Chains A and B, each alone.
Chain A
Amino acid sequence: MKLGAFHLPLPTRAFLVLAGLFLFLKLLRPVIPGSVIVLYMGFVIAGIVIHVTLRDERMREFADFFIAESAGEPAAIRFQRWGLLAVIPLVIGWSVYDALRPTYAPPVEIFQRHPTVGEEILGSIKVPDWAAEPAKWNPEAIARGKVLYEANCAVCHGEKLDGQGPAAEGFRYPIRPANFQDAGTIAQLTLPYVYWRLTVGGIQNQFNSAMPRWTTPADDPEASTLHSYDFTADEAWKVIMYLYRATGYEPRR
Chain B
Amino acid sequence: MGSTPAWVNRIVGVLVAGCLLVVAQCVYAQGLPAGPEYRSVLGMDSRLAVWIAAQLHLMFAAFVLAVPMFALFIEYLGWRVAKTNPREAQRYDWLAHEMARLLPAAYSLTAITGALLGFLLFTAYPKFMAYMTGIFGPTFVVYPLFFVAETLCLYLWYYTWDRLQGERKWLHLWLGLLLNVFGTIVMFIADAWATFMMTPAGVDQQGALISLYDAVWNPGWMPLNIHRLVANITFGALLCSAYAAYRFLIATREQDRALYDWMGYTGNLIALFTMLFLPFAGYYFGFELFAFSATYGVTLMGGVLSWLFIIQAIVIAVLFIGAAYYSWLGLLRIPGSEAQQRWSPVFNVALISGFVVWATPHTMAASIEESTGGFHPILGALGVMAPKMIAVTLVLVVLYASYLLYRRAGRETTVAWHRQGTTIQWSLVGLTALAITALGVYGYFAPAEVRIKTSIWQIIVLMIGIVATFALDLVLLRGARTVAEVRWGTLPRRGHYVLIMLAFVIVWLMALMGYARSGVRLNWHVYGILQDTSPGAGLPSLGEVAVIITAITFIFFVMLAAAFAISGLAKAPDAASGGDGRAPALAPSGEGA
Contact = CB atoms under 8 A, between A and B. Distances in A.
B364 A193 contact: no
B167 interface: no
Contact of A118 (B325, B360, B522): B522
Contact of A187 (B290, B349, B448, B524): B448
A128 interface: no
Contacts of A221: none
A23 interface: no
A167 B10 CA distance: 73
Interface string B280-320: 00000000001001110111011111110000001001100
A173 B368 contact: yes
Contacts of B303: 112-117
Contacts of B5: none
A250 B297 CA distance: 16
A175 interface: yes
Interface string B323-366: 00100110010000000010011001101100110011111111
A47 B317 CA distance: 12
A111 interface: yes
A30 interface: yes
A56 B341 CA distance: 12
B542 A105 contact: no
B375 A182 contact: yes
B314 A39 contact: yes
A106 interface: yes
B148 to A, nearest CB: 38
Nearest to A197: B298
Interface in B530-561: 531, 542
A229 interface: no
A113 B362 contact: yes
Interface stretch (B69-77, B105-113, B157-165, B378-386): B378-386
A113 B361 CA distance: 11
Given A43-B317, A114-B303, A252 B365 contact: no
Contact of B306 (A109, A112, A189): A112
A96 interface: no
A47 B352 contact: yes
B423 interface: no
Contacts of B528: 119-120, 123
Interface string A38-68: 0110011011001101111000000000000
Contacts of A178: 374
A122 B366 CA distance: 30
A168 B377 CA distance: 17
Contacts of A34: 367, 370
Contacts of A120: 528, 531
A108 interface: yes
Contacts of B344: 54
A171 B494 CA distance: 51
B448 A112 contact: no
A105 B366 CA distance: 11
Q: Which among B318, B349, B367 has the greatest number of chain A C-beta atoms within 10 A?
A: B367
Contacts of A46: 318, 321, 352
A97 to B, nearest CB: 16
A175 B294 contact: no
Nearest to B358: A43
Contacts of B379: 32, 36
B567 interface: no
A184 B302 CA distance: 9
A119 B373 contact: no
A54 B298 contact: no
Contacts of A116: 298-299, 303-305, 522
A44 B352 contact: yes
A11 interface: no
Q: Which among A53, A54, A168, A253 has the greatest number of chain B C-beta atoms within 10 A?
A: A54
A136 interface: no
Contacts of A192: 294
A246 to B, nearest CB: 15
Contacts of B35: none
B447 interface: yes
B376 interface: yes
A211 B447 CA distance: 27
Contact of B368 (A51, A119, A122, A172): A172
Contacts of B332: 55-56
A120 B527 CA distance: 10
Interface in B152-205: none
Contact of A109 (B341, B355, B365): B365
A40 B448 contact: no
A193 B299 CA distance: 11
Given A46-B352, A112-B303, A32 B376 contact: yes
A118 B523 contact: yes
Interface string A16-34: 0000000000001011111
A207 to B, nearest CB: 13
B494 A53 contact: yes
Given A184-B362, A250-B447, A173 B373 contact: yes
Given A43-B359, A56-B492, A111-B363, A176 B304 contact: no
B349 A113 contact: no
B367 A252 contact: no
Contacts of A105: 367-369
A81 B555 CA distance: 44
Nearest to B351: A47
Interface string B489-503: 000101000000000
B370 A33 contact: yes
Interface of A: 28, 30-36, 39-40, 43-44, 46-47, 50-51, 53-56, 105-106, 108-120, 122-123, 163, 168, 171-176, 178-179, 182-184, 187-190, 192-193, 249-250, 252-253
Given A32-B370, A43-B317, A46-B352, 17 more contacts: A28-B378, A33-B364, A39-B360, A47-B348, A47-B352, A106-B367, A118-B295, A118-B523, A119-B527, A123-B295, A123-B528, A175-B374, A184-B362, A184-B375, A187-B448, A188-B448, A250-B449
29 contacts: A30-B376, A32-B370, A32-B378, A33-B364, A33-B367, A33-B370, A33-B371, A35-B365, A40-B356, A43-B317, A46-B352, A50-B325, A53-B329, A108-B367, A111-B364, A112-B306, A114-B298, A115-B303, A116-B298, A116-B305, A118-B522, A119-B522, A173-B368, A188-B297, A188-B448, A189-B298, A250-B449, A252-B290, A253-B294
9 interchain residue pairs of minimum CB distance: A176-B373, A114-B302, A116-B303, A33-B366, A47-B352, A190-B294, A116-B304, A35-B365, A33-B370
Interface of B: 290, 293-295, 297-299, 301-307, 314, 317-318, 321, 325, 328-329, 332, 341, 344-345, 348-349, 351-352, 355-356, 359-380, 383-384, 447-449, 492, 494, 522-524, 527-528, 531, 542
